[in-house]
């Protein structure tokens, strides 16, 4: 692909005008829902509803036929009953439309007659050279372009995760989920039955997409295995790919089978494909996005040696346990580091790994001096940092410091700013990844401020540890591909 504009997905993800089939003045119809989603995000392009009877659909002039449109739109968005889809595709072709999304289901995934209906649909598109996403998908979310063709209202902000998913729900259900973690989609594709455009095309697009730092895949089955592996290997040296594949247990495999109609192959086969392709494998949707969060924040982790900084023993022990189970190492502190730390850690604390600060009176000890020493220890690769002080407790402390009630909120914010600025300054002046974990709400003020500024802070140490380990696996896979590519290049010279 010469440039991202050459991808068939470019007009699909960046349309300036859309012909919409299936929206009406019936609020509970799915097509009307899609129109609502486009409007809610304030889509800037033109929208042309096509409706056999209505003069207007919501606030838009409606057209009886796509052939009546004043221009050829970039994209046809089709949410009609199954039996009407092929003839609609044909009409789009006659109008000269070259790209479509077919949301409608009832095709190959239901078996029987659906298989023939899908063949008809593909034939209609091929006749005019139309490239399309679907059927049985929910389309695209490209929040930077204010585009959301899904039934669900978009929540959150644009982010760095490019996604291609064989489940539409795993696009829409993640809008709110990702925004809670202060991350988000660059562009997300629901691929549906992949009758024309498939997941390999999506990976290619996302590989070229400048807003995408990391690619997330939800996979139930891959048809073009070899193309998939080659495509991934060409992208992985530049950006990481993380995949959640279901098929690991027989139950999941059976469930996957009935869903998009793709055959969910055996787990071991996919394990091999991912390894060959340089793709990190996640074990759940949450882990998929945890690893993306980690890799989008810190694309390179040099090794598996983790230093843990905590306030208290229990969360330190749990983090150590989690790191151990995830296959990470906890090196002992160097004598130099121990010497540098001793002025900052009270006698009730423990200067080891995990470092247990217990309780101190000086805020900057915990948020600046100690992590600075730990980041400068050359025997560790990552600092895993525990956040425990809630906004409520900070506010109580401020109040007890004797500030007048009307200044308490302001002084609390000052304290939180001091803490977050310290940590951001550490990140700006040190190369080593800094990862947080907490049991607080991710909306708690200090945590929120930091995740919004790009620091990954995971709910619980297990998620943090597994994300660190997966990110390190990316380093290894990437290096392996680079070495093998350079060997091949050398051999071909």
- Owner of token pair 């005019």: 128
Residue 58 or 157: which CB sits closer to a copy of itself? 58
List Cα–Cα distances, 101 to 88, 201, 299, in angstroms: 12, 14, 33
Minimum distance from CB of 410 to a copy of itself (Å)? 16
- Residue ranges in 392-411 that form contacts with a copy of itself under rule CB under 8 A: 392-393, 396-397, 399-402
Among 133, 139, 130, residue whose Cα is nearest residue 98:
130
Spatial distance between the Cα atoms of 356 and 309, rounded to a whole number of angstroms: 7
Q: Which residues 161-200 are close enough to bind a copy of itself by CB under 8 A?
A: 165-170, 172-174, 176-177, 180
The reply to whether 312 sits near a copy of itself by the rule CB under 8 A is: yes
Write out the two tokens for 13. Answer: 């993800």
Please tell me the total number of residues recorded for the chain in this structure: 493
- Cβ closest to a copy of itself, residue 1 vs residue 110: 110
What minimum distance in Å lies between the beta carbon of 325 and a copy of itself?
5
* Count helices and strands in the chain by DSSP H and E runs: 18, 19
- Our finding on whether 149 is near a copy of itself (CB under 8 A) is no
Provide the 10 A C-beta neighbour count for residue 62: 20
Applying the rule CB under 8 A, the residues between 276 and 295 that interact with a copy of itself are 284-286
Q: How far is the CB of 473 from a copy of itself (least distance, A)?
A: 19
Q: Which of residues 208 and 320 has its CB atom nearest to a copy of itself in the complex?
A: 320
The tokens 């109008």 sit on which residue? 95
Exactly one of 198, 220, 377, 469 binds a copy of itself (CB under 8 A); that residue is: 220
Closer Cβ to a copy of itself, 129 or 402, answer by number: 402
Out of 315, 371, 433, 436, which residue is the one contacting a copy of itself (CB under 8 A)?
A: 315
- Count the alpha carbons within 13 Å of 202 in the hemisphere toward its beta carbon: 33
Which residues lie closer than 8 Å to 53 by C-beta, 6 or more apart?
none
Q: Does 314 bind a copy of itself (CB under 8 A)?
A: yes
How many residues touch a copy of itself under the rule CB under 8 A: the total is: 94
Secondary structure class of 358 (helix, strand, coil): coil
- For residue 225, what are the contacts with CB-CB under 8 A and spacing of at least 6? 273
Contact call for residue 221 and a copy of itself (CB under 8 A): no
- Nearest approach in angstroms of CB 349 to a copy of itself is 9
Q: Which residues in the 3-62 window bind a copy of itself by CB under 8 A? A: 27-30, 32-33, 36-37, 40, 58
- 343 contacts a copy of itself (rule: CB under 8 A): no
Nearer to a copy of itself, 391 or 456 (CB): 391
**Binding map of a copy of itself across residues 248-277, x = CB under 8 A, - = no contact:** xxxxx-xxx-xxx-----------------
Q: Which is nearer to a copy of itself, 322 or 426 (CB)?
A: 322
CA dist., res. 49 & res. 110, Å (int): 28
Distance linking the first and last C-alpha atoms of the chain:
24
Q: Is 209 helix (H, G, I), strand (E, B) or coil?
A: coil
| Strand ranges for 114-255 from DSSP E | 131-133, 139-142, 147-148, 161-165, 185-190, 214-219, 241-245
> Smallest gap, in angstroms, from Cβ of residue 211 to a copy of itself?
23
Q: Contacting a copy of itself (CB under 8 A), which of 105, 134, 436, 456?
A: 105
Q: Which of residues 357-376 bind a copy of itself (CB under 8 A)?
A: 358-359, 361
d(CA 101, CA 191): 9
Region near a copy of itself per CB under 8 A, out of 85-93, 422-430, 435-443, 450-458:
435-443
246 contacts a copy of itself (rule: CB under 8 A): yes
Rg of the chain taking only CA atoms, in angstroms? 26
CB of 359: closest distance to a copy of itself in angstroms?
6
Name which of residues 57 to 96 contact a copy of itself (CB under 8 A): 58
**Residues facing 329 on adjacent strands:** 305
* Shortest separation between residue 11's beta carbon and a copy of itself, angstroms: 26
- DSSP letter assigned to residue 55: S
């Amino acid at each position: 692909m010469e440039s991202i504009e050459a991808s068939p997905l470019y007009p699909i993800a960046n349309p300036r005008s859309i012909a919409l089939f299936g929206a009406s003045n019936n609020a509970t119809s799915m097509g009307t829902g899609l129109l609502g989603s486009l409007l809610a995000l304030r889509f800037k392009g033109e929208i042309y509803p096509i409706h056999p009877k209505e003069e207007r659909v919501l606030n838009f002039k409606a057209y009886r036929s796509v052939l009546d449109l004043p221009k050829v739109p970039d994209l046809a968005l089709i949410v009609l009953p199954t039996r009407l889809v092929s003839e609609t595709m044909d009409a789009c072709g006659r109008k000269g439309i070259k790209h479509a999304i077919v949301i409608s289901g009832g095709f190959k995934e239901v078996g029987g007659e659906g298989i023939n209906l899908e063949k008809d649909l593909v034939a209609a598109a091929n006749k005019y050279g139309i490239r399309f996403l679907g059927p049985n998908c929910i389309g695209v979310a490209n929040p930077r372009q204010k585009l959301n063709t899904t039934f669900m209202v978009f929540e959150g902000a644009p982010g760095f995760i490019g996604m291609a998913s064989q489940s539409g729900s795993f696009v829409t259900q993640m809008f709110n989920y990702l925004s809670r973690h202060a991350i988000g989609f660059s562009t997300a594709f629901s691929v549906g039955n992949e009758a024309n455009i498939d997941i390999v095309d999506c990976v290619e697009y996302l590989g070229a997409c400048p807003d995408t730092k990391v690619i997330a895949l939800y996979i139930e089955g891959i048809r073009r295995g070899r193309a998939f592996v080659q495509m991934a290997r060409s992208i992985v040296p530049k950006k990481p790919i993380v995949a959640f594949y279901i098929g690991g247990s027989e139950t999941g495999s059976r469930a996957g089978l009935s869903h998009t109609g793709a055959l969910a192959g055996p787990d071991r086969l996919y394990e091999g494909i991912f390894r060959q392709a340089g793709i990190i494998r996640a074990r759940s949707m949450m882990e998929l996005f945890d690893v993306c969060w980690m890799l989008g924040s810190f694309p390179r982790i040099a090794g598996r040696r983790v230093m843990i900084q905590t306030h208290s023993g229990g969360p330190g022990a749990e983090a150590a346990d989690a790191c151990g189970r995830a296959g990470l190492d906890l090196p002992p502190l160097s004598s130099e580091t121990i010497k540098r730390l001793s002025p900052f850690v009270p006698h009730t604390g423990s200067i080891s790994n995990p470092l247990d600060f217990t309780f101190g009176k000086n805020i900057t000890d915990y948020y600046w001096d100690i992590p600075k020493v730990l980041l400068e220890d050359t025997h560790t690769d990552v600092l895993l940092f525990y956040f425990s002080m809630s906004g409520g407790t900070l506010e109580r402390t401020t109040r007890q410091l004797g500030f007048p009630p009307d200044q308490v909120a302001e002084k609390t914010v000052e304290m939180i700013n001091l803490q977050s600025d310290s940590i951001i300054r550490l990140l700006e002046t040190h190369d080593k990844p800094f990862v947080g974990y907490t049991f607080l709400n991710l909306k708690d003020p200090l945590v929120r401020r930091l995740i919004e500024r790009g620091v990954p802070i995971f709910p619980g140490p297990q998620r943090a540890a597994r994300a660190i380990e997966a990110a390190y696996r990316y380093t290894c896979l990437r290096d392996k591909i680079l070495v093998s590519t350079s060997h091949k290049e050398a051999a071909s010279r």
